[in-house]
Amino acid sequence: MRKHFKLFGDAPFFLFTKKYFISIWMIKPITFIGQRTILFFENTGAVFIMLGRTLRYLAHLWSNRQLVADQMMELGVRSIPLVLFVGVFAGAVASVQTAYQLEGYISYNYLGAATSVAIFIELGPVLTALVAAGRVGASMAAEIGTMKVTEQIDALESLAIDPIRYLAMPRILSGFVMIPVLTIFADLIGVLGAYAVAYINLNLPPEIFFGSVKEFFSLLNVFSGLIKAFFFGGITAIIGCYVGFSTTGGAEGVGQATIKAFVLSSALILLNDYLLSMILF
Amino acid sequence: MISIKNLHKNFDSKVVLRGVDLDIYDGERLVVVGRSGCGKSVLLKHILNLMQPDEGYILVDNIAIKKVQQKDLFFLRKQFGFLFQGAALFDSMTVEENIALPLYEHTDMQSEQINAKVAEKLDMVGLPGIQKLKPAELSGGMKKRVGLARAIIMDPKYILYDEPTTGLDPIMAANIDKLIIELSNKLNVTSIVVTHDLQSVSKIADRVVMLHRGQIIFSGNVEDLKKSKNEVVYQFVHAEAEGPIQPKPRKY
């Protein structure tokens, strides 16, 4: 056996033993899975520690009102055009698709009810949150990440200013508050978009469309959507801040952080959408 | 007084500090020299607890900075000014907002008083009237001087300088050196300067320590540094390619 392998060069004999095979090819994946699991729990723990520190600063909300107002402006008010754009087309598409499904089975008189419920409980909150994850979550990660790699976070600390209070708290609070507000805008414009399509394509009169919206309107549906939006907004901001604070490695690191924040928050929004739907409906 | 006791720091498998012991006395201008990447900046960041040691501790006015609560840590940090290597100015703020930030955060001063103090500090660093500019509009030397104005705005007891003259032309570097000496004399602060610029060392140092392979291998005044028989110190001071310090080939 030894002679045989000698023919293939100086490869040490132990490379071909069963023991080595077990140690390398079986233990390595287990080690990898173990390391990943530890890393997952480490990161999850760090996110909750950051959230805990953020919540502690809510007691000093009044003295930090300007920081919070600035972030609400950035996260909320400046996102309105994009959210309206997405909302109107989401409503329009919902209307077209629903009309297609109702055709020949159910009267178009129920089109308003079907599309508005879909917008209130699903399309409004989820699309608003996904848009926010792209526009705001990623920009938070990029902004804080750039501050991290250029020592601006260290500079804040050296000036005896806690970055969690100064950077994370206003952003996370704004995320929780402003995404539901944006969702209300998306809901309203979504229903209008749906009606516009119904009027153009099906010549459906407004009293029929909005009559059915009113008939099947339930505050519970709207609040369920807003509860979802509340959690989605929090997730987007928390992930954006956490990823930003964890950034290393210069410009490339900032780029990676931006992608990571968007992918992670989008995935968590969809996962939580499922979980919250199970709980709420 | 700052006392650094048996400080150890590793980054994964890379050992950066291996038992640093150093006392920094009130009012002195201490310069820490050593090759790039030898752990000078890491040492400086430990003093403010921006990094935590793996072993050892640091006493600031007999208070162990590692063990204090966040509130007390922030109280201690208010006694420090830190000039970062790249100035670390906040990009989104103007020069005035950068310098005034600690005053708005930690004092009850009115806007007029704050503006007056910002103007006074900008005068001190030789940059009057640039309050409304953004960091992106400043040259490297101006950024460092604005960083210095921000570092001294709270009238600190200690100022830490991380490579204050790196990347500057000789005249600007000389200006920064002059500022360090003036601030030290005028405000009677304790200065700790990390650098590998030997011209600066000659001008500003009351005492020099040299960091090599994570340990302090020399402590003395500038004359002692120049006359040192230690081979490592000799090679560093005389900027010789041949000697015990050799750049390690990096493994890829």
Contacts of A14 (CB under 8 A, 6+ apart): A20
pLDDT of residue A10: 58
The reply to whether B248 falls in a domain is: no
pLDDT of residue A190: 93
A37-46: long-range contacts, CB 8 A cutoff, minimum separation 24? A43/A242, A46/A242, A46/A246
- pLDDT tens, position by position, B241-250: 777 777 765 4
pLDDT of residue A13: 60
pLDDT of residue B248: 64
- pLDDT tens, position by position, B9-65: 998 888 899 999 999 999 899 999 988 888 899 999 999 999 999 999 999 998 888
The reply to whether B15 falls in a domain is: yes
The reply to whether B246 falls in a domain is: no
Average pLDDT of chain B to the nearest whole number: 89
Residue B252's pLDDT band (cuts 50, 70, 90): very low
For B62-71, letters b (16+ CB in 10 Å) and e give eeebeeeeee
Question: Which ipTM did the prediction report?
Answer: 0.89
pLDDT of residue A19: 67
The reply to whether B113 falls in a domain is: yes
Compute how many other C-beta atoms are within 10 angstroms of the C-beta atom of residue B13: 5
pLDDT of residue A247: 94
Q: Is residue B48 within 8 angstroms of chain A, CB to CB?
A: yes
Q: Is the pLDDT of residue B162 over 50?
A: yes
Tally of domains within chain B:
1
- How confident is the model over B80-87, as a mean pLDDT? 92
Element holding A179 (H helix, E strand): helix A169-202
A244 in Cβ contact with A139 (< 8 Å)? no
d(CA B20, CA B9): 10
Q: Which among A71, A144, A151 is the top mutation candidate for probing chain B, defined by the most B β-carbons within 10 Å of its own β-carbon?
A: A151
% of chain B beyond a pLDDT of 70: 98
The reply to whether A28 falls in a domain is: no
d(CA A254, CA A136): 15
d(CA A142, CA A241): 9
pLDDT of residue B171: 86
Compute how many other C-beta atoms are within 10 angstroms of the C-beta atom of residue A23: 12
pLDDT of residue A9: 54
d(CA A181, CA A197): 25
Query: What distance in Å separates residue B234's CA from the closest CA in chain A?
Result: 33
Determine how β-strand B80-83 pairs with β-strand B158-162.
parallel
d(CA B157, CA B188): 8
The reply to whether B245 falls in a domain is: no
Tally of domains within chain A:
1
- How confident is the model over B179-206, as a mean pLDDT? 89
The reply to whether B18 falls in a domain is: yes
For A104-128, letters b (16+ CB in 10 Å) and e give eeeebebbbbbbbbbbbbbbbbbbb
The reply to whether A267 falls in a domain is: yes
Regions of chain A with pLDDT less than 70? 1-24
The reply to whether B252 falls in a domain is: no
The reply to whether A53 falls in a domain is: no
- For the domain that residue B34 is a member of, what is the CATH number? 3.40.50.300
pLDDT of residue A69: 95
Q: In B, which residues are within 8 Å of A162 by CB distance?
A: 70, 74
Q: Show the domain range for A166.
A: 65-280
- pLDDT tens, position by position, B165-177: 887 888 888 888 9
Query: What distance in Å separates residue B104's CA from the closest CA in chain A?
Result: 11
pLDDT of residue A1: 44
Query: What distance in Å separates residue B217's CA from the closest CA in chain A?
Result: 28
Amino acid at B125: V
Q: Show the domain range for B107.
A: 2-237
